[in-house]
Structure 1
Amino acid sequence: MAVEQLEFTSEDIILKGHLRGAAAGQRRAALAITGPFAGVKEQVAGVYAERLAAAGFVTLAFDHRGFGESGGRPAHEDVQGKLADLRAAVGALAAHPAVDTERIGVLGVCLGGGYALRAAAEDPRVRAVAGIAGGYNSPAFFARDPDAYRATLAALIGRYDEHMPAVAPDGGEAAMSGEEPYSYYGNAEHWRNEVTRGSLHSLLTFDALGAAALLARTPLLVVHGRVDAYCSPELASAAYEAAPGPKRFEWIDCERHVDLYDQEPYVTQAAGAAAAFFAEYL
């Protein structure tokens, strides 16, 4: 499928994206797609963008500020900045002649699921939202041991601007330590194995779960693995239960979080569920 290079701005920062499925003389439903923590458009966001473009949608997978080919502070996970980037991506789709402005959705994978949820709650232009293996972060959930939570935040603030590896095998210090994330990351073009320590502070204080209750007019799809060591199935269920509008939940019988990134048959199952959901609601 042809891939169009799309450049747009978010708060004066240049973002780079890949547009798929745009056809001259047609206006189609469109999806802005956001991926995992520290991810780039050539990784899992691009996998789902390609699948959903093949299903008939215009899709935009893009690099958030600080990552991949986009501008901004390098390797820093900026929660409010990434939400601004999603608003800009929705705006870029709305301005494209191949897009029906009344039929725009957002899909997020891993941490992108949490961003997608919050973006949909804050932007009425988003008519439907889906999270796949989503990270529906909740400071209240993370702070069930308040002393440990505060100590972690204090340590991160003290070294906020320092860089650390994004992934490392078991035993190595990293934002995502362990063989599972290490097995996935590292081979994509434009991806760098680094994030700021402040990125982890941003994630631990980001309330994605609280946005679910605001989706009274926005249909929600949650696709999640029954076993997931990195993005809690408990929080996925909580996000689904809190959403008051039309909603759908699809459990996938995979064994690892990253199985929903690029492993079969799980990606086909998740992409198929998303395509059917967006076809109904967009």
Structure 2
Amino acid sequence: MPKVTELTFFSEGLKLKGLLYEPDDLKPGEKRPTVVCCHGYTGMKDVYLLPVPERLAVHGYVAFAFDHRGFGKSEGVRARLIPPEQVEDIRNAITFVSTLPSVDTDRIALYGTSFGGGNVVVATATDDRVRCVVSVVPVGNGERWLKSLRKHWEWLKFQDVLAEDRRQRVLTGESRRVDVTELMPGDPHSRQVIQEKVKAAETYTQGYPLENAEATLRWKPEDFAHAIAPRPILFMHTECDGLVPIDECYALHSKAKEPKKLVTIPNADHYDVYQFVNPDVFEKVIAESIKWYDRYLKADAPQERIAEIA
């Protein structure tokens, strides 16, 4: 089994917590390719993300999964999600792992799922230390995504709610908190998973700030996708995703340049990519991810191969 160590680093003065997974055959002084893993909108790293770094370590990688500011064990305003701040957390996580003795600083990659799948696109586009990236069921345009989850009249009403919250924030300094499903209402399957799995482990009893949604409206990872090349990016999405429509992934893929690859998983919904919901789909996701990392991070994959078409 991999060695797991809880570690602490700082991002813009806030103390963030993460778990480092190291292969059990790691020798003293040896450096391995490393993957930084990033969670999604609800911030439930411990609920659904950890099987990913664990499996990567089994396949010889060092992997690091951390809680963004405001989530999990990290400091910050509880459940507050401002996307550019999360990208800064990712950049600081890369800097942090680069200081660790088991990490090969020339072979660092990212893995992001759901909202984190969009965040890793931006982080990779703006940080040339990232050698390759995997983006799973990602959000490509925050406004388009939130609008897709609502009927037209619901969208108009939601905009009014956000406008009122903006006024109250400047008057009181506080954003009204709501249930996460008010921010991202999904299909029945997604709601069931959130109710049965996510909320059972949720520590954000006061809800999620409405300002998260306003910040999400301005977040457009697809505008950054073209800047990743010539570094390779793998996109994966579930065809029956009722929370993040597959068109989000198509948009990102269409704007990314080669080398790139798009994998669609049939008959699967959004949360099926997580082991605790659908182990079979998770195995497909992890197998594709490991093939991608093996191709572009292993010692026998020279840097010039990054210019190849996947």
Aligned to 2:287: 272
Q: Secondary structure at the match of 1:103?
A: strand
**TM-score, with structure 1 as normaliser:** 0.90
Aligned to 1:129: 133
Output aligned runs, 1:177-192, within 5 Å.
178-188=191-201, 191-192=203-204
Alpha carbons 2:237, 2:264 under 8 Å: kept? yes
Matched, 1:259 2:268: no
**Aligned-pair CA distance for 1:191:** 3.8
Matches of 2:216 and 2:145 in 1, distance apart?
A: 12
Code of the residue aligned with 1:276 in structure 2: it is: K
Output aligned runs, 1:165-176, within 5 Å.
165-167=179-181, 173=182, 175-176=184-185
Alpha carbons 2:253, 2:262 under 8 Å: kept? yes
Alpha carbons 1:184, 1:258 under 8 Å: kept? no
Label 1:252 to 1:156 Cα distance change in 2 as closer, same or farther (>3 A): farther
Aligned to 1:154: 163
Matched, 1:240 2:230: no
Matches of 2:114 and 2:145 in 1, distance apart?
A: 17
Code of the residue aligned with 2:262 in structure 1: it is: F
Alpha carbons 1:156, 1:200 under 8 Å: kept? no
Aligned to 1:79: 83
Code of the residue aligned with 1:251 in structure 2: it is: T
**Aligned-pair CA distance for 1:156:** 4.4
Alpha carbons 1:135, 1:236 under 8 Å: kept? yes
- What 5-or-longer segments of structure 2 have no aligned partner? 170-174, 298-310
**Aligned-pair CA distance for 1:158:** 3.8
The number of aligned residues is 276
2:177 is aligned, of 126, 141, 163, to 163
Alpha carbons 2:109, 2:132 under 8 Å: kept? yes
Deviations 1:123-154 (A, max 9, x none): 10011111111122244676797x83854642
Label 1:75 to 1:183 Cα distance change in 2 as closer, same or farther (>3 A): same
Matches of 1:89 and 1:175 in 2, distance apart?
A: 27
**Aligned-pair CA distance for 1:198:** 0.6
Code of the residue aligned with 2:166 in structure 1: it is: I
Aligned to 1:281: 296
Aligned to 2:11: 10
Q: Where is the helix percentage greater, Structure 1 or Structure 2?
A: 2
Aligned to 1:28: 32
Q: Secondary structure at the match of 1:127?
A: strand
Matches of 1:209 and 1:258 in 2, distance apart?
A: 22
Aligned to 1:116: 120
Matches of 1:2 and 1:118 in 2, distance apart?
A: 30
Alpha carbons 1:228, 1:255 under 8 Å: kept? yes
Label 1:26 to 1:203 Cα distance change in 2 as closer, same or farther (>3 A): same
**Aligned-pair CA distance for 1:176:** 4.2
Matches of 1:79 and 1:105 in 2, distance apart?
A: 19
RMSD of the TM alignment (CA)?
2.3
Label 1:4 to 1:165 Cα distance change in 2 as closer, same or farther (>3 A): same
Of the structure 1 ranges 17-26 and 73-82, higher mean CA displacement relative to structure 2 is found in: 17-26
Aligned to 1:170: none
- What 5-or-longer segments of structure 1 have no aligned partner? 168-172
Of the structure 1 ranges 127-136 and 4-13, higher mean CA displacement relative to structure 2 is found in: 127-136
Matches of 2:57 and 2:90 in 1, distance apart?
A: 19
**Aligned-pair CA distance for 1:40:** 3.0
Alpha carbons 1:254, 1:266 under 8 Å: kept? no
Label 1:49 to 1:159 Cα distance change in 2 as closer, same or farther (>3 A): farther
Label 1:238 to 1:187 Cα distance change in 2 as closer, same or farther (>3 A): same
**TM-score, with structure 2 as normaliser:** 0.82
Of the structure 1 ranges 78-87 and 18-27, higher mean CA displacement relative to structure 2 is found in: 18-27
Alpha carbons 2:37, 2:65 under 8 Å: kept? yes
**Aligned-pair CA distance for 1:76:** 0.4
Alpha carbons 1:159, 1:198 under 8 Å: kept? no
